Amino acid sequence: MGLKIKGNDDRVRGALTAVLLLGRDRLRRGETNDLVQAALAEYRADPEGYKTARRAWPDVRELGPLTKPTAVAHYQTLLAAADRLAAKLAGSKIVFNSLLELDNYLVASLGRVTPQ
């Protein structure tokens, strides 16, 4: 029997937080290509390393690590899109059957987010 990951599951919130934190770190380094997909791949490849690094990073809403205005704009847009998606998923009856399915949904939903 496969996983049943509901939209309000901690694994969904954890993946969204990882996308934001790892995405912010990638934006800080100037890496904008496939931001969401790359952040999720990094998170899934080394979840323990992510947890260790996360303790040293500022809160997910902090913009301090970003110095370039385009990176700040991109992150603010990504943050707003992630908030909308989290609210949508929390109130929905969507169920993911695997972490891969969840990741693909997040990439499809957030992968095209660009600064306005």
What's the mean pLDDT when you consider all of the chain? 91
Q: Do residues 12 and 89 touch, judged by C-beta distance below 8 A? A: yes
What is the full DSSP assignment across 26-70?
HHHTT--TTHHHHHHHHHHH-HHHHHHHHHHSPPTT--TT--SHH
- pLDDT at position 65 over 60: yes
Q: What is the pLDDT of residue 2?
A: 66
d(CA 107, CA 112): 8
CA dist 16 and 7 (Å) reads: 11
The pLDDT assigned to 28 comes to: 93
pLDDT at position 113, please? 82
Eight-class DSSP state of 113: -
Average pLDDT (94-114) is 91
* Element housing 5 (H / E): strand 5-6
Residue 63: phi and psi, rounded to 5, are: -100, -5
- pLDDT band at 116, cuts 50/70/90? low
